[in-house]
Amino acid sequence: MDPLLTKLGEAVELGKVDKNSPYPPQLKGQDGADELASEALANGVSPSDVLGRAMVPAMDRVGQKFTENKIFVPQMLMSAKAMGAAMKHLKPFFVSGDVKTKGTFIIGTVKGDLHDIGKNLVAMMVEGGGWTIMDLGVDVNEDTFNRAVSENPGAIVGLSALLTTTMANMEEIVKKIKETNPGTKVLVGGAPLTDEFRSKIGADFYSPDPRGAVEYLKDLAV
């Protein structure tokens, strides 16, 4: 494999955002994901290879390590930040169609809930898997979700909640999405949730960690 892709994958996996980033210490002073992605594209590496051979495998490894408790939220956030730094160089190719997106993933924290770390992690992991992300933010009601789904036919929806008090709102939102846009796949996640709750409210998938969502979405890619 192209050495630049190997280095880029390592930078994303270890959370090396750019050359000036002090994290991780073992890569101090070296190019980060920002510079390496730019250099790879400038050297003629195809955008699809930058994504598919470096960034997606790197985020897979990050997700695996997180699932196995080998890394924790702070390290995962750094990896996501590095992935975002590289992704900005690829976005023009998504827009132009040179890189085919796997689909659109609409995500938001449900109304009444302002927590966004879990949502942001899932969004960045899914984006690293080659999906177009529409992040609706926090405190999102059913009308906003439905409007986004209507404007993006075939999109997958992700709902996040961290408070037990907002789980009821999640149930209401799932119901409205399914009524207004039948057939829409809805993923749910958040600390207080369980698969039993997912089944009760009629959602399609639940995972206790971001990697589960990424794996599920692989089977739904267009």
Question: What average pLDDT does this structure show over 120-141?
Answer: 92
Question: CA 19, 57, 6, 48: dihedral to nearest 10 degrees?
Answer: -90
pLDDT at 222: 52
CATH 3.40.50.280 residue ranges in the chain?
Answer: 101-222
Q: What is the pLDDT of residue 100?
A: 82
Please state which CATH class domain 101-222 belongs to.
alpha beta
- Give a three-class secondary structure readout of 20-88: CCCCCHHHCCCCCHHHHHHHHHHCCCCHHHHHHHHHHHHHHHHHHHHHCCCCCHHHHHHHHHHHHHHHH
201-207: average pLDDT: 96
User: What is the structure's pLDDT at 128?
Assistant: 83
Query: Does residue 119 register a pLDDT over 90?
Result: yes
Task: Assess whether pLDDT exceeds 80 at residue 221.
Answer: no
pLDDT for residue 98: 81
Which segments of the chain belong to CATH 1.10.1240.10?
A: 1-99
Q: Work out the percent of the chain whose per-residue pLDDT is above 70.
A: 99
Q: What is the pLDDT of residue 67?
A: 85
Pick the CATH number of 1-99 from 3.40.50.720, 1.10.1240.10, 3.90.1170.50, 1.10.1740.10: 1.10.1240.10
More confident residue, 149 or 222: 149
Average confidence (pLDDT) over 129-140: 94
Indicate the pTM of the whole model.
Answer: 0.82
Residue 108 is predicted with a pLDDT of: 98
Q: 81-115: per-residue pLDDT in tens? A: 999 999 999 989 887 878 888 999 999 999 999 99
